[in-house]
Structure 1
Amino acid sequence: MSITHHSLAFAPREGGRVLCFTAHPDDVDFGAAGTIAAWTAAGVEVVYCVMTDGDAGGFEADADIAARRLEEQRAAASLVGVREVHYLHERDGYLEVTHQVISQVVALIRRYRPDVVLTMHPERNWERLQKSHPDHLAAGEIVTRAVYPAAENPFAYPELEAQGLAAFKVPQLWFMAAPAERENHYEDIGDTVEAKLAAIHIHASQHPDPAAMDAEVRGQLLENGRRTDASGDVLAECFHVVVVNGSGTFAGF
């Protein structure tokens, strides 16, 4: 079965808002930077939150790797129109599903009240295990729990309500790096692929062979396109889109 444009998927518009949560600096650029570049060009405000500092990344000992990676992410974000990046400063490789982290995610969701929350997929991908770093799985589970029920339950993390962060129902939850059988929506990023690749190239600390990385990413995008219902050579980013609160949602069901 081919991947289609999900009929209820978020349509970018001036004044829209998307909140992205990833495990490491560079995750969002590999997973969704082309789509994000198109959204920001259409007037959508996109905000990033990176849960770990990426301090276990790179290919040589570097005492300053965490600071370097955080700056790489800020620079990459600016290339696709994202001006605001938050960090939770968890330790790379040690991210766990805890209420301390979930409550921080809930606070950001309630603060920004986005149309879409975008994150990593919480299910392991056995066909490409590299998509399923344990931190990725943890990030996906953390955000899923934050979106439902915590963000929309005024009695969850009551200290947030006391701070003026009122409960909020997230309309849509988008997952990147999903197992193929979960993907149900694609975005054609032919117009923004160069911005995506430029953003990935900013993460120089992670790519010892930039040319090979570039070719690999282009190849993956083309392969994604072949799995869609589009015609021709489409460069596609694919997602698992979940409508959390839509026209048919009633009293949390």
Structure 2
Amino acid sequence: MKPLPFARPGETLSVLCLGAHADDIEIGAGGLLMQWLKCGVRLEVLWCVLSAAGARAAEAEQSARALLAEACLKDVKLARFEDGFFPQQEATLKRWMEDLKAGPVPDVILTHRRDDAHQDHRAVSRLTWNTFRDHTILEYEIPKWDGDLGRPNLYAPFGEDILARKIELLLSHFATQRPKDWFDAETFRGLARLRGMECRSPGRYAEAFVLRKACLA
């Protein structure tokens, strides 16, 4: 598959990362962010996790800073919305999201997939589109037991080095998640290999996204 350049070496790309929970952004788009850095793209990142308290807050902060050690990490914003009840908190979530527009305008926004089976993920995706109406938005995927993986239309290929680093960061920074039966290297490697096969990644692996709207310059 012939790649479509999105960001070129030496260019600066402003990215707003949105995740409902600590580890969402890393699982869904960690490889893409690291591949951009590897290719020489200068990233300016605002990292937002909407449900992070206690140990989960510490995990989210430390993981973001480790993953983006070579980027310009503008800020890590950690909110404390109640896990599992985002739809019931939507008015407050909307106001929180609107406050993000006071900052610099991002070139691209990474958020949850609209059709994700998790209610918190769907709420974040819906409010992303409701709040940022004139932006390039990439919707990432999170594997889970619901079996809700969809049909993406945008792929970010990478090699073994990026995948190994992504898995290392996930397993080392999210101790609260390690007891879960799905949170392991095989899950992350298997999905990355499947998406890499779908786009014929030269490095064998990829992350996949849904790009609903785009404008060619």
Higher relative contact order (CA 8 A, sep 6+): 1
**Which residue of 2 is the match for residue 174 of structure 1?**
138
Gaps of 5+ in 1: 54-65, 125-131, 149-168, 248-253
**Which residue of 2 is the match for residue 27 of structure 1?**
24
Scaled by the length of structure 1, the TM-score of the pair is 0.71
Scaled by the length of structure 2, the TM-score of the pair is 0.81
Equivalence map 1:150-229=2 (5 Å): 169-170=134-135, 172-177=136-141, 179-181=149-151, 183-190=152-159, 191-201=161-171, 202-208=173-179, 213-229=184-200
**Which residue of 2 is the match for residue 60 of structure 1?**
none
Kindly indicate whether the alpha-carbon contact (under 8 Å) linking 1:19 and 1:109 is maintained by their aligned counterparts in 2: no
Equivalence map 1:24-103=2 (5 Å): 24-41=21-38, 42-53=41-52, 66-81=53-68, 83=73, 84-96=75-87, 98-103=90-95
**Which residue of 2 is the match for residue 15 of structure 1?**
12
- The 3-state SS of whatever aligns with 2:211 is strand
Equivalence map 1:97-136=2 (5 Å): 98-124=90-116, 132-136=117-121
Give aligned-pair identity as a percent.
24
- The 3-state SS of whatever aligns with 1:33 is helix
Distance 2:61 2:92 in 1: 25
- The 3-state SS of whatever aligns with 2:109 is strand
The equivalent position to 2:127 in structure 1, one of 136, 142, 148, is 142
**Which residue of 1 is the match for residue 146 of structure 2?**
none
Cα RMSD after superposing both structures: 2.6
**Which residue of 1 is the match for residue 210 of structure 2?**
240
Kindly indicate whether the alpha-carbon contact (under 8 Å) linking 1:36 and 1:46 is maintained by their aligned counterparts in 2: no
Letter in 2 for 1:199: L
Gaps of 5+ in 2: 143-148
Q: Where in structure 1 do 4 or more consecutive aligned residues deviate above 3 Å?
A: 4-14, 209-212, 242-247
- The 3-state SS of whatever aligns with 1:90 is coil
